[in-house]
Structure formats: structure tokens, C-alpha cells
């Protein structure tokens, strides 16, 4: 995977020009500086820079784009800027006062056709928010919360604990946010219930663990990582603690969010010969994080490539106006994409024409992955 940020010195000006001679690349290290007039330009980072900002993992569609184009660049679309500005206005009332636009939403579900860019937009939003100094709880693969590892019924809550996933959730959250978490004190000092550890059953002689006065969120997370019996309880407590953070904006960003409204791969024995499938809402961790009926900022992106069925329009624990239909490429965006593919030699320059790139656009109906696949046939 190439690590370059900018065009090599031998690149001609023509090869870095987009439609109508506009620059194809915007050489910046942040998405914050973009205005809507600067949309439809590519921002180029190295793969190491992406992984440093999103150490939890990058979306599969984004990695596929990077591999096929041999460059780790993303296009800044109008739809992303609308999403960014929505949360920017929530945090900065001065911007809200200046711009009398659409009302802001604290909870949003990115829905839309397959391969329209929902996961990439969510990853870009996380990148922007972290550059701005926000505390972001990012889950790039929500389906992992409902698949794999061990599961146990919690006799106190009657939900199912998944300590393997809980431990990974805590480790992932610590990867980027460790320094900030060391500065944020715990606000809740009630006992944290213990559950079964990973493959070792219940802890003998203890049902709860206490967080001492003066503990930070970093100390809380380390407790869950060090003691697998406490992992699930700490993940649940962390959700409550993050709602109490006022020193810094907090954003929950969940990809594959639709997997939290379907059945898991876990099954509970009912009789000697039958089992019942366990729903995601019955998992302690999902139950704690799934709801959007609160005042925290939260974005969930649906992933239709990992979906097991179509969800109904009205979802439990989700505001009725939370869904935002994320669009496929517009004609202008498709033109920029095809110029970028020509720059990266996916499309041969001598074969490029307006007629041909429009054929790609209309054949794919603006689907990003299909456009990339069809580009090779020009």
C-alpha cells in the first residue's frame, strides 16, 4: 500500500487537474478547513496517518478503494460536509446563530443504498472530530459485538454477557484516547457488578468491584481490561460515564449499526433438541449502547453488505427523524471520481471522454464500488 501524501515531482499539472481545470487534490491535513465551495476534491493521507487517527480499524470499503487506486485519498463530498456541519453547529452555538439552515440532530442514522459511502463518511467524521479534540467512541464493526467469543447469561440482569468482546471494546477505546482519558475523572462511584470471566466462570468471594475516589476513566477501563470478570460491567459503566463528560464534546460513532437490531450468532438451549437464537438487544453491551433516546451526540451507519435482512422503518430506541438517506454519487461527484481514476491509471488517459465516464455513471447508478469496477473497462 503506497504511503505518499502528495503527487510526485514528475507529475504534470494536467494529471492533478479535475473537471473544468479545478484542482483534483486539496493538500490539507484536516477536514475542518473545507467549505461547501471546496467540495468534490480529494484529500490525501498516508495509510499510517489513517491508522493513527482510527486505530480501531478502517472500513472494508475504504481499504478496498485504497488498494485498487494505490493511494489513500478520499473525496470530500457535500453530503459529508452536511454531516460534519450538523455536529459542528451543536458544539459551537456561534455557528448556529450565523447559519439559519436545517435544524440540527444530535442522533443520526446514515441509511442508503449499498456502497454509497456511509462507512467512509462515518470514518471521515471520526477523523475530523478527533482532529478537533473531541472524545470519540468509534466502533468500525458493530457486528463484531454480536458474533464470536463466549456468551453467558447474567443471573442478575437476565441479559447475556460477552466478556471477550467487552475486553476488545475497552482496548480499542484506549488506543487513541488514552491521554485524554487520564485527565477525565470518574463521576459515578457505585459498585460495578462482576460477571463470568473469559472461560473461567464466576469469581469466588466477590460479586462487585469498587472504583476508589479520584479514579479516572483510564483507571476504570484498565480495571475492565485487567480483570475479565469486570469487562462487561466496565463497558456498561463507561457508557454512563461518557454521558457525564462536559469538558470535551463526546461523539458515539457506530458502523454496522443495523446489526444491533437483528439476531446474533449465539443460541441458547431450550430443550435437549432445540435452541433459540439470541437477539442483539439481549446482549448486555449492545443493550447499553444501542439506544438513541438520549441527549448525547451519536451516529450509526447501516451496512447493507453485512445485513441479514431488511429492518422496518420505525426502530425501537431510535427517534423517528433520526434516519438520514445518504446519496449515491451525483453527476458532478462521478466526474471528479473518474478524473481521479484516470490520475491513478485505472482509466487510460487516451480512452477517457465525457461520453464514457457518463456511461459508467449511469450504468452503475452512482454506486461507488461498481463505478470503480467498470472504470477498468474504458
Dihedral sign computed on CA atoms, order 231, 305, 314, 158: negative
Q: What is the per-residue pLDDT across 54-95, written as a single tens digit (0 to 9) for each?
A: 999 999 999 999 999 999 999 999 999 999 999 999 998 777
Residue 378: pLDDT band (50, 70, 90) is confident
> Are 377 and 359 spatial neighbours (Cβ–Cβ below 8 Å)?
no
The pLDDT, as a whole number, for residue 12 is 39
Q: From the CA atom positions of the chain, what is the Rg in Å?
A: 23
pLDDT above 80 (res 26): yes
Dist. CA 202–CA 264, nearest whole Å: 24
- CA distances, 20 to each of 27, 49, 332, 333, 336 (Å): 19, 30, 11, 13, 10
The pLDDT, as a whole number, for residue 199 is 75
Mean per-residue pLDDT for 255-271? 96
> Are 160 and 153 spatial neighbours (Cβ–Cβ below 8 Å)?
yes
Dist. CA 235–CA 220, nearest whole Å: 9
Residue 9: pLDDT band (50, 70, 90) is very low
Quickly tell me which residue has 454531516 as its cell: 83
The pLDDT, as a whole number, for residue 99 is 61
> Minimal CA–CA distance to 235: which of 245, 224, 226, 227?
224
Residue 186: pLDDT band (50, 70, 90) is very high
pLDDT above 70 (res 10): no
Mean per-residue pLDDT for 231-250? 97
Query: What percent of the chain lies above the pLDDT cut of 90?
Result: 81
Residue 37: pLDDT band (50, 70, 90) is very high
pLDDT above 80 (res 291): yes
pLDDT above 50 (res 354): yes
Average pLDDT, the chain: 91
The pLDDT, as a whole number, for residue 279 is 97
Residue 3: pLDDT band (50, 70, 90) is low
Mean per-residue pLDDT for 338-363? 93
The pLDDT, as a whole number, for residue 4 is 47
304: which 3 cell numbers? 447493507
pLDDT above 60 (res 34): yes
The pLDDT, as a whole number, for residue 2 is 52
Dist. CA 168–CA 232, nearest whole Å: 10
Residue 72, φ and ψ in degrees, nearest 5 = -100, 55
Q: What is the per-residue pLDDT across 192-236, written as a single tens digit (0 to 9) for each?
A: 999 988 877 778 878 999 999 999 999 999 999 999 999 999 999
Dist. CA 241–CA 220, nearest whole Å: 10
Mean per-residue pLDDT for 346-356? 91
Residue 177: pLDDT band (50, 70, 90) is very high
Task: Work out the angle between the directed axes of helices 163-181 and 231-243 (0-180°, nearest 10).
Answer: 40
The pLDDT, as a whole number, for residue 331 is 97
Amino acid at each position: 500500500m503506497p504511503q505518499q501524501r502528495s503527487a510526485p515531482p514528475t507529475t504534470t499539472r494536467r494529471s492533478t487537474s479535475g473537471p473544468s481545470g479545478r484542482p483534483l487534490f486539496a493538500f490539507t491535513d484536516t477536514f475542518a478547513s473545507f467549505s461547501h465551495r471546496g467540495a468534490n476534491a480529494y484529500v490525501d493521507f498516508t495509510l499510517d496517518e489513517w491508522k493513527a487517527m482510527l486505530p480501531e480499524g478502517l472500513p472494508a470499503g475504504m481499504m478496498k478503494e485504497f488498494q485498487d487506486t494505490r493511494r489513500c485519498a478520499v473525496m470530500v463530498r457535500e453530503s459529508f460536509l452536511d454531516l460534519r456541519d450538523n455536529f459542528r453547529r451543536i458544539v459551537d452555538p456561534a455557528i448556529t446563530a450565523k447559519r439559519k439552515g436545517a435544524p440540527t440532530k444530535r442522533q443520526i442514522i446514515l441509511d442508503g443504498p449499498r456502497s454509497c459511502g456511509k462507512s467512509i463518511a462515518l470514518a471521515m467524521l471520526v477523523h475530523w472530530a478527533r482532529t478537533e479534540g473531541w472524545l470519540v467512541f468509534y466502533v468500525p464493526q458493530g457486528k463484531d459485538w454480536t458474533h464470536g467469543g463466549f456468551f453467558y447469561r447474567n443471573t442478575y440482569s437476565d441479559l447475556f454477557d460477552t466478556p471477550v468482546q467487552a475486553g476488545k471494546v475497552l482496548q480499542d477505546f484506549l488506543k487513541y484516547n488514552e491521554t485524554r482519558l487520564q485527565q477525565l475523572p470518574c463521576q459515578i462511584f457505585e459498585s460495578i457488578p462482576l460477571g463470568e470471566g473469559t472461560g473461567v466462570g464466576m469469581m469466588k468471594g466477590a460479586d462487585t468491584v469498587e472504583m476508589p475516589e479520584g479514579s479516572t476513566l483510564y483507571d476504570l477501563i484498565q480495571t475492565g481490561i485487567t480483570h475479565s470478570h469486570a469487562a462487561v460491567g466496565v463497558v456498561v459503566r463507561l457508557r454512563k460515564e461518557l454521558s457525564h463528560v462536559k469538558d470535551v464534546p463526546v461523539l458515539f460513532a457506530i458502523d454496522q449499526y443495523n446489526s444491533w437490531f437483528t439476531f446474533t450468532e449465539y443460541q441458547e438451549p431450550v430443550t435437549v433438541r432445540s435452541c433459540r437464537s439470541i437477539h442483539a438487544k439481549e446482549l448486555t453491551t449492545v443493550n447499553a449502547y444501542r439506544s438513541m433516546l438520549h441527549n448525547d451526540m451519536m451516529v450509526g451507519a447501516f451496512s447493507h453488505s453485512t445485513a441479514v435482512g431488511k429492518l422496518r422503518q420505525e426502530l425501537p430506541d431510535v427517534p423517528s427523524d433520526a434516519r438520514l438517506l445518504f446519496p449515491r454519487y451525483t453527476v458532478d461527484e462521478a466526474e471528479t471520481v473518474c478524473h481521479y481514476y484516470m490520475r491513478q491509471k485505472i482509466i487510460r488517459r487516451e480512452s477517457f471522454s465525457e461520453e464514457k465516464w457518463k456511461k459508467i455513471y449511469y450504468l452503475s447508478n452512482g454506486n461507488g464500488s461498481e463505478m470503480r469496477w467498470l472504470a477498468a473497462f474504458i
